[in-house]
Amino acid sequence: MTPPPIHLRDLTCTHERHPAVHHLSGCFAPGSLTAIVGPNGAGKTTLLATLAGLHAQFDGTIDRGGLRPAEIGLLPQASTLDRGFPIACADVVAAGAWGRFGAFRAWRQADAAAAALARVGLRGFERRPIGSLSAGQFQRVLFARLIVQDAPVLLLDEPTTGVDARTADDLLAIMREWHAQGRTVIAVLHDLDLVARAFPETLLLARAPIAWGRTATVLTAENRLRARLVAEAWPTHAEPCAVAA
C-alpha cells in the first residue's frame, strides 16, 4: 500500500492569476500523516484541490510519482455538498468503488458499501437517504466512501469540522488506521490541539509557506504569529501573479 512520494517544486496556485498559494516546495513522504493548517484564506483548500488534480491553475511542478486519479481519494468539505438529492447512503459509498470494481459489478459494490458503513458505525444505514443524516453521520458516510475507494493517498478537507466529539474521535481512529497501513494522509485542519496530539508532520500555510516539517517545530508561537501577520498583510484583491501569466 506504500504510495510514491509527492514532490512540489515552486508550486504557485492561482484563481484567474490571482495568488492563492505562493512558491511552495517540499515533499509529502510515502505513508506520512500530515496536517495542513493556517489562517482562513491561506490557500489550504486550493492546495488540496491542486494535489487532487482538480485545480489546473498553477505554476511550478507536482510530481505524484505516477499515481492515477483513482489512487487519490478526496474528502471535500461537507458543508459544500448538496444533500438535497434523494440518494441512499449505500449509493454514495458505492460510488467510491467504481475505480476498483467497475460500474457493472453492482453486487461487489453493495457488499463493499455495507462493510464500509459498518466500519464507520453506520451498520443498517444502507437505504437511509443522506438528507436525513446528522452532520456527523454524513461525514461518516463520506469516510465510508473513501474506505471502499481504497486509495493509497487520502486528501481530507476539514474532516472533523462540525461533527460531535465522538464522531471526531472515530474519524481520527480511521485516519490513524490508514496511516498504519502505509497510506499517505494529508488533512486540512483548524484544531491545533488535535494536530499537535495526532499528526507527526505539519505544513503551516499563509498563502506563502511558513514552515513544513515535524509538528513540534512547525507549531511554535513564533511561526503561528508570522502566519497571522503574513495573512493579514495580503491585500483583499491581490495583484495578478506574474508567474502564472
Nearest to 25 by CA among 168, 199, 205: 205
140 shares its domain with 162: no
Give 176's pLDDT tier (boundaries 50, 70, 90): very high
State whether 47 and 63 are in the same domain: yes
Does the pLDDT at position 245 exceed 50?
no
| Predicted local confidence at residue 82, as pLDDT | 80
Under DSSP, the state recorded for 122 is -
Give the pLDDT score at 83. Answer: 83
Alpha helices in the chain (DSSP H): 44-51, 89-94, 98-101, 106-119, 135-149, 165-180, 192-198, 215-218, 221-233
End-of-domain residue from the set 148, 176, 200 = 148
3-state secondary structure of 128: coil
User: What does the pLDDT look like over 87-112, one tens digit per residue?
Assistant: 999 999 998 877 665 554 555 678 89
Answer yes or no: do 172 and 97 share one domain.
Answer: no
What percentage of the chain's residues is helix, strand, coil (to nearest 5)? Answer: 40, 25, 35
> Would the pLDDT of 18 be above 90?
no
- Are 63 and 98 found together in one domain? no
Query: pLDDT tier at 244 (50, 70, 90 boundaries)?
Result: very low
Residue range(s) defining the domain that contains residue 113:
83-148
22 occurs within a structural domain = yes
With a pLDDT cut of 90, the percent of the chain lying above it is 78
Average pLDDT value over all residues in the chain: 91
Of 133, 148, 163, the domain-final residue: 148
Q: CATH number for the domain including 187? A: 3.40.50.300
Same-domain pairing of 60 and 15: yes
d(Cα 36, Cα 21) in Å, to the nearest integer?
13
Rounded to an integer, what distance in angstroms lies between the CA atom of residue 13 and that of residue 133?
A: 35
Is residue 56 domain-shared with residue 103, that is, in the same domain? no
In a domain, residue 238? The reply is yes
pLDDT one-digit tens code per residue, 133-150: 999 999 999 999 999 999
Mean predicted confidence (pLDDT) in 63-80: 92
Provide the CB-side half-sphere exposure for 47 (13 A, CA): 32
Structural domain count, the chain: 2
Q: Is residue 120 part of a domain?
A: yes
